[in-house]
């Protein structure tokens, strides 16, 4: 007996470069099934459902969907709402009224938790429908998954940013600090290591939320690199914490802004970078110290996309539709690495993904806690996709001095 009814797809949390691939994967695959009467897109995530604000994507052209697929950021718009039980009851009134039987939510671990709550409500309400979470996050912090769609493209941005920052810092030496997104997991910051091509290339130091950040150790690290190379490039996660787990950034801002999930606002401010730069200026005798906070560019920049990431983002959308509509299963789509480099997809119980955070494993971080290992580089490289450019140097010999022979 086929479950006939409508499909609703929504996008939650922070946008990524490939989140629309997953959307289009769901829409195109769903439209093939006879039991699917309509495919709706909820505007602004779950808040669009309670507001009954839907696009009728059954009436969208396939060609335009393909154009949207290669456009970054959430085409259905997003939300930071986290539904409680009351919110979910409202969702159900709307879903029933519209005869929606398949719900796909593309998002991170917060969105997975939303799907889990919605699904529990569905069971309580004795309303048969399928709810599937489709993974998406530049943070790469979802459990079970080898990695998540959105990460590869953001990691490619970070790699390209640090390849450039390292070259710039070689040309005009000093200390350069690049602050990278990543509240609890350092995967995105760690992708900066791809810039380490030649032995003296930066980032020379990489600070991750997985290891406690100590200001005095930081100073010693920078001094050591600067003494050796006459310059220092640093990649630092916005989420670095002290030994007590307190985010360094909360030490700076009196009036900390939090979202509906209780998350502190880390992006959209250069405060952490400024603090780290000023600390070097004050305590080491280095004049040229610069910091950049990469901010929203990391997740929205046009034209910096990993093709591998694109393919996988599309497939998790397609697989979601297949699991729900062919196989009648709820859950979270997960990516599993099967070779170097190949993947397969599974469906995992929502509770194993929802609200949980994956961290970088110990094998990916060096003993000193200020860089990554080759094992991490091996892990991350295929995710960045094809066509990644590499920096090249002049290798011509130096000329003998004439006037300053004694030097």
Q: Which of residues 113-172 bind its own copies (CB under 8 A)?
A: 159-161, 163-165, 167-168, 170-172
Q: How far is CA 287 from CA 20, 118, 306, in A?
A: 45, 55, 37
Report whether 49 belongs to an annotated binding site: no
Cβ–Cβ < 8 Å for 210, 357: no
Residues 6 or more apart whose Cβ sits within 8 Å of residue 182: 139, 188, 189, 208, 209, 237, 238, 239
Reply yes or no on whether 139 is catalytic.
Answer: yes
**Nearest approach, Cβ of 355 to its own copies (angstroms)?**
21
Q: Pick the closest to residue 9 from 71, 96, 78 (CA basis).
A: 78
By CB under 8 A, residue 307 contacts its own copies: no
Set 113, 139, 141, 309: catalytic member: 139
Q: Which tokens belong to 291?
A: 């910091």
Beta-strand relationship, 36-42 and 5-11: parallel
**Nearest approach, Cβ of 31 to its own copies (angstroms)?**
12
For its own copies, the closer of residues 48 and 186 by Cβ is 48
For its own copies, the closer of residues 24 and 115 by Cβ is 24
**Nearest approach, Cβ of 161 to its own copies (angstroms)?**
6
Residue selected from 296, 326, 341, 378 as contacting its own copies according to rule CB under 8 A: 296
By CB under 8 A, residue 391 contacts its own copies: yes
Alpha helices by DSSP H, listed for 127-214, are: 151-171, 187-190
**Nearest approach, Cβ of 290 to its own copies (angstroms)?**
3
By CB under 8 A, residue 76 contacts its own copies: yes
By CB under 8 A, residue 88 contacts its own copies: no
By CB under 8 A, residue 71 contacts its own copies: yes
Report whether 367 belongs to an annotated binding site: no
Residue selected from 64, 250, 263, 328 as contacting its own copies according to rule CB under 8 A: 64
- Given strand 175-180, what is the order of strands in its sheet? 205-207, 232-237, 175-180, 289-293
Distance CA 320, CA 381 (A): 26
Q: Which tokens belong to 385?
A: 């996709």
Residue selected from 73, 125, 357, 373 as contacting its own copies according to rule CB under 8 A: 73
Q: Say if residue 25 is exposed, middle or buried (CB neighbours under 10 Å; 0-12, 13-18, 19+).
A: buried
For its own copies, the closer of residues 138 and 190 by Cβ is 138
Residue 384 per-residue DSSP state: G
Report whether 176 belongs to an annotated binding site: no
**Nearest approach, Cβ of 160 to its own copies (angstroms)?**
4
Please report, as residue ranges, which positions from 223 to 262 form the binding site for its own copies (by CB under 8 A): 257
Please report, as residue ranges, which positions from 15 to 44 form the binding site for its own copies (by CB under 8 A): 15, 40-41, 43
Residue selected from 85, 250, 268, 341 as contacting its own copies according to rule CB under 8 A: 268
By CB under 8 A, residue 74 contacts its own copies: yes
**Nearest approach, Cβ of 159 to its own copies (angstroms)?**
8
Q: Quick one: which segment of 94-102, 182-190, 204-212, 356-364 binds its own copies (CB under 8 A)?
A: 94-102
Alpha helices by DSSP H, listed for 98-211, are: 109-124, 151-171, 187-190
For its own copies, the closer of residues 1 and 97 by Cβ is 97
* C-alpha of 33 from chain center: 31
Residue selected from 294, 364, 376, 379 as contacting its own copies according to rule CB under 8 A: 294
Residues 6 or more apart whose Cβ sits within 8 Å of residue 180: 158, 188, 189, 192, 235, 236, 237, 238, 294, 298
CA angle 121-125-129, nearest 5°?
75
Enumerate the known binding-site residues for Mg(2+).
109
Task: State the catalytic residues.
Answer: 139
């Amino acid at each position: 007996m086929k479950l006939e009814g409508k499909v609703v797809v929504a996008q939650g949390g922070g946008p990524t470069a490939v989140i629309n691939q997953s959307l289009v994967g769901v829409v195109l695959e769903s439209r093939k099934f006879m039991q699917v009467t309509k495919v709706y897109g909820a505007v602004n995530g779950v808040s669009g459902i309670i507001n009954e604000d839907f696009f009728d994507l059954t009436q969208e052209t396939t060609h335009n969907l393909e154009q949207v697929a290669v456009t970054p950021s959430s085409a259905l718009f997003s939300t930071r709402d986290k539904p409680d039980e009351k919110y979910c009851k409202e969702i159900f009134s709307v879903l029933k009224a519209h005869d929606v039987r398949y719900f796909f939510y593309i998002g991170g671990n917060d969105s997975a938790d939303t799907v889990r709550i919605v699904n529990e409500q569905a069971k309580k309400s004795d309303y048969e429908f399928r709810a599937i979470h489709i993974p998406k996050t530049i943070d790469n912090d979802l459990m079970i998954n080898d990695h998540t769609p959105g990460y590869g493209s953001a990691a490619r941005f970070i790699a390209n940013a640090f390849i450039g920052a390292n070259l710039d810092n070689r040309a005009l030496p000093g200390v350069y600090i690049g602050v990278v997104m990543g509240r609890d997991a350092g995967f995105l910051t760690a992708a900066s290591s791809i810039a380490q091509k030649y032995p003296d290339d930066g980032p020379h130091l990489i600070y991750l939320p997985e290891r406690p950040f100590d200001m005095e150790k930081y100073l010693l690290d920078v001094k050591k690199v600067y003494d050796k190379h006459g310059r220092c490039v640093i990649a630092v996660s916005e989420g670095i914490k002290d030994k007590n787990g307190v985010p360094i950034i909360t030490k700076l801002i009196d009036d900390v802004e939090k979202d509906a999930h209780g998350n502190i606002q880390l992006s959209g401010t250069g405060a952490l970078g400024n603090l780290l730069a000023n600390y070097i200026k004050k305590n080491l005798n280095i004049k040229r110290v610069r910091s950049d906070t990469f901010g929203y560019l990391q997740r929205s920049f046009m034209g910096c996309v990993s093709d591998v990431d694109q393919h996988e983002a599309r497939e998790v959308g397609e697989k979601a539709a297949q699991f729900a509509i062919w196989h009648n299963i709820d859950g979270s789509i997960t990516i599993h690495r099967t070779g170097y480099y190949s993947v397969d997809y599974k469906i995992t119980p929502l509770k194993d993904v929802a609200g949980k955070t994956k961290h970088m494993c110990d094998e990916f971080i060096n003993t000193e806690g200020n860089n990554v290992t080759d094992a991490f580089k091996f892990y991350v490289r295929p995710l960045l996709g094809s066509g990644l450019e590499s920096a090249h140097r002049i290798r011509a010999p130096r000329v003998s001095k004439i006037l300053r022979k004694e030097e």
